[in-house]
Structure 1
Amino acid sequence: GRDFREIYAAPIAHMAARGLVEEAEGHLRLTLRGLPVANVVFAQFIRD
Structure 2
Amino acid sequence: MRAWQTGEERDRIKPLERENRELRQANEILRKASAYFAAAELDRRFKP
The answer, yes or no, to whether TM exceeds 0.5 is no
Superposition TM-score, scaled by structure 2 size:
0.26
Q: Which has the higher helix share?
A: 2
Superposition TM-score, scaled by structure 1 size:
0.26
- Structure with more contact order per residue of length (Cα contacts < 8 Å, sep ≥ 6): 1
Specify the structure having the higher radius of gyration (Cα).
2
